[in-house]
């Protein structure tokens, strides 16, 4: 049985001076390994905050986040060891080459094959020719590819990507999305993408809209629309 992350009755709010900013209350969501999810919604709705909660990198104000692996409930420490996170601003280490940035998560785990595995992943994202370049010597799209290779190199069960195509032109955005979805499928990783791009969101198997403090599953509505447009073409 595949692993999954379960969010139950999640609420998140922040205390700012005297006032409380509430992002959402009583939110429920399950994320399964091997499936892809997109979360869309207006700026400030809390998408990035929700991604931090699903990935176990932050804790909610109320509610439970559980990680179920091999039918056993694990602590969030297990979840954190099983995720790759692709940040909007890449967060690559500026003094390391592309190769060493990708090898870093493996080296930190003591993997003696770190460099060889990093080479394989740089090749998968089409960056073999740039392995000795530092982030400042790479374009935005190339840095995003390094960030994807770094997130996937230790083959985690779940990948989280916050606006992975946010700063890219259409051609580069399509290439990055192709790489991200193909690599996650190959690894059987669960993929959660936060995006403002309808084109990117449509590639996911499940789409959610986060707005006004609630999360709406749009997958059913989209399946219905697709079926309707297919029927229109058939007429």
Binding-site ranges for ligand ATP (CB under 6 A)? 14, 16, 21, 23, 41, 43-49
Q: Least distance in Å: CB of 197 to ligand ATP? A: 11
Q: Least distance in Å: CB of 71 to ligand ATP? A: 32
- For Mg ion, which stretch binds (CB under 5 A), given 46-54, 72-80, 137-145, 225-233? 46-54
Among 48, 167, 172, 219, binds Mg ion (CB under 5 A): 48
* SS3 of 58-75: CCCCEEEEEEEECCEEEC
- Whose Cβ is closer to Mg ion: residue 48's or residue 167's? 48
What's the rounded Cα separation, in Å, for the pair 35 and 16? Answer: 36
What's the rounded Cα separation, in Å, for the pair 4 and 1? Answer: 9
Q: Does 167 bind Mg ion (CB under 5 A)?
A: no
What's the rounded Cα separation, in Å, for the pair 56 and 50? Answer: 10
Q: Least distance in Å: CB of 53 to ligand ATP? A: 10
Could you tell me how many residues of this chain bind Mg ion (CB under 5 A)?
1
- Whose Cβ is closer to Mg ion: residue 27's or residue 98's? 27
**CA distance readout (Å), 207 to 110, 136, 171:** 37, 34, 23
What's the rounded Cα separation, in Å, for the pair 97 and 130? Answer: 9
- Whose Cβ is closer to ligand ATP: residue 45's or residue 127's? 45
Evaluate whether 167 touches 140 at the Cβ level (below 8 Å): yes
The site for Mg ion (CB under 5 A) is made up of 48
């Amino acid at each position: 049985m595949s692993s999954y992350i379960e969010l139950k009755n999640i609420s998140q709010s922040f205390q700012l001076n005297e006032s409380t900013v509430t992002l959402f209350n009583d939110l429920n969501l399950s994320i399964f390994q091997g499936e892809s999810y997109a979360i869309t919604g207006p700026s400030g709705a809390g998408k990035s905050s929700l991604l931090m909660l699903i990935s176990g990198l932050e804790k909610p104000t109320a509610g439970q986040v559980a990680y179920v692996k091999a039918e056993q409930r694990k602590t969030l420490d297990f979840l954190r060891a099983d995720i790759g996170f692709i940040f909007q601003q890449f967060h690559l280490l500026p003094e390391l080459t592309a190769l060493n940035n990708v090898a870093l998560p493996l080296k930190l785990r003591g993997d003696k094959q770190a460099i060889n595995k990093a080479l394989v992943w740089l090749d998968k994202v089409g960056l073999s020719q740039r392995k000795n370049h530092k982030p400042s010597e790479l374009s935005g799209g190339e840095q995003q590819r390094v960030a994807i290779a770094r997130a996937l190199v230790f083959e985690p069960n779940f990948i989280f990507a916050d606006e992975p195509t946010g700063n890219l032109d259409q051609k580069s955005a399509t290439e990055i999305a192709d790489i991200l979805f193909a690599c996650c499928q190959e690894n059987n990783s669960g993929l959660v993408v936060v995006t403002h791009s309808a084109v990117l969101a449509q590639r996911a198997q499940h789409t959610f809209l986060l707005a006004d403090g609630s999360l709406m599953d749009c997958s059913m509505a989209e399946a219905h629309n697709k079926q309707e447009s297919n029927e229109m073409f058939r007429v």
